[in-house]
């Protein structure tokens, strides 16, 4: 691999670390708020805070690390994050199922958010993808499950966007989409996810160009969502003067940045696909 190719791959790897960091930060903030509201009555509610903190620290270290080599400690931290997210998914599913009425729309609306823990799993998977990218040598990458890692990263990101859209759609449906802006998270990211998936399956210049445009729009949407949610908090009784209660009541401030983190990851995956296809 040429120096130019190596530099492009290393830059994409650090961008993947940045995406993993944003997802870990979103999980850390969201779980801290939601589990505080639940009074940490289950000791396991501390696990995502610890795991997300480690993933955030490891990801920020990766963003600053310009060495073209995998880091065993970061790899272990990402594996722990992925496992913690899967375990959290099981806990949340159990929490919903044991409520009166079991699996119903009411419990999906007001029980433990079913998809929230998977953001930590995505952070771990994307972080491990960053470490895999750093380890690329020569013209070809070692496949993962018989799939080139750069395409697998794009596919995982596209699925992550789809899941995040489903979570946002569920909660905005609970809010009856009373604000037209609530349609945006279920309108823009699905297009980006579909185009990114298409780029993973059959790369082409046109698909990549379209995917990049929609991913950048999705990244901006994540930032804008924080502002819109902050405005939503201000509309609760007492506004920000009563922040200790209103931040708990929502809308959740840490949720929208997940779109930004996944969009950044998707852009990095596209860069990897383009570079590997160029030298392949």
| 253 contacts 220 by C-beta, under 8 angstroms | no
Q: How far is CA 184 from CA 110, 154, 172, 187, 218, in A?
A: 22, 22, 10, 5, 9
- The confidence score (pLDDT) of residue 38 equals 82
Burial of 220 (0-12, 13-18, 19+ CB in 10 A): middle
Strand partners, 147: 144
In angstroms, rounded to a whole number, what is the distance separating the alpha carbons of residues 18 and 159? 19
Q: How far is CA 229 from CA 67, 144, 218, 232, in A?
A: 38, 38, 16, 5
Give residue for tokens 């190596």. 6
- The confidence score (pLDDT) of residue 149 equals 77
DSSP string across 68-87: SS--HHHHHHHHHHHHHHHH
Q: Rounded to two decimals, what is the model's pTM?
A: 0.90
In angstroms, rounded to a whole number, what is the distance separating the alpha carbons of residues 127 and 62? 9
Q: What value does the mean pLDDT of the chain take?
A: 88
Q: How many residues does the chain have?
A: 280
In angstroms, rounded to a whole number, what is the distance separating the alpha carbons of residues 106 and 206? 43
- pLDDT confidence band for 203 (50 / 70 / 90): confident
In this predicted structure, the answer to whether residue 160 has a pLDDT above a threshold of 80 is yes
Nearest of 261, 255, 83 to residue 170 by alpha carbon:
255
Phi, psi torsion values for 144, nearest 5 degrees:
-115, 120
The string of pLDDT tens digits covering residues 8-44 is 788 888 999 999 999 999 999 999 998 888 888 888 8
User: Which of the residue ranges 11-25, 45-59, 115-129, 137-151 would you say has the lowest mean pLDDT?
Assistant: 137-151
In angstroms, rounded to a whole number, what is the distance separating the alpha carbons of residues 124 and 130? 10
| Four-residue CA torsion sign, 149, 152, 157, 158 | positive
Phi, psi torsion values for 19, nearest 5 degrees:
-60, -45
Nearest of 278, 18, 249, 46 to residue 150 by alpha carbon:
278
Domain boundaries along the sequence of the chain: 3-279
- The confidence score (pLDDT) of residue 139 equals 47
The string of pLDDT tens digits covering residues 219-250 is 999 999 999 999 989 888 888 888 888 888 87
- The confidence score (pLDDT) of residue 1 equals 56
202: left (phi over 0), alpha (psi -120 to 50) or beta: beta
């Amino acid at each position: 691999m040429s120096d130019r190719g190596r530099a492009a791959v290393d830059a994409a790897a650090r961008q993947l670390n940045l995406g993993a960091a944003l997802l870990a930060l979103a999980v850390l903030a969201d779980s801290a708020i939601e589990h505080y509201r639940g009074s940490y009555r289950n000791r396991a509610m501390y696990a995502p805070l610890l795991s997300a903190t480690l993933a955030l620290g490891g990801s920020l270290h990766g963003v600053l690390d310009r060495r073209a080599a995998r880091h065993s400690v970061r790899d272990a931290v990402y594996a722990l994050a992925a496992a913690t997210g899967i375990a959290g998914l099981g806990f949340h599913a159990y929490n919903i199922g044991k409520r009166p009425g079991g699996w119903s729309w009411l419990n999906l609306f007001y029980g433990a958010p079913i998809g929230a823990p998977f953001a930590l799993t995505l952070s771990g998977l994307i972080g491990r993808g960053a470490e895999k990218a750093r380890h690329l040598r020569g013209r070809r990458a070692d496949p993962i499950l018989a799939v080139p890692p750069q395409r697998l990263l794009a596919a995982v990101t596209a699925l992550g966007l789809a899941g995040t859209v489903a979570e946002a759609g569920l909660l905005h449906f609970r809010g009856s989409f009373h604000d037209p802006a609530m349609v945006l998270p279920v309108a823009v990211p699905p297009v980006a996810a579909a185009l990114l998936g298409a780029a993973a399956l059959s790369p082409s210049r046109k698909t990549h160009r379209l995917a990049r445009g929609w991913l950048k729009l999705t990244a901006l949407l994540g930032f804008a969502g924080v502002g819109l949610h902050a405005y939503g908090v201000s509309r609760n009784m007492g506004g920000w003067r009563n922040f200790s209660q209103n931040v708990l009541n929502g809308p959740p401030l840490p949720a929208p940045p997940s779109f930004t983190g996944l969009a950044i990851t998707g852009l990095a995956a596209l860069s990897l696909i383009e570079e590997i296809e160029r030298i392949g």
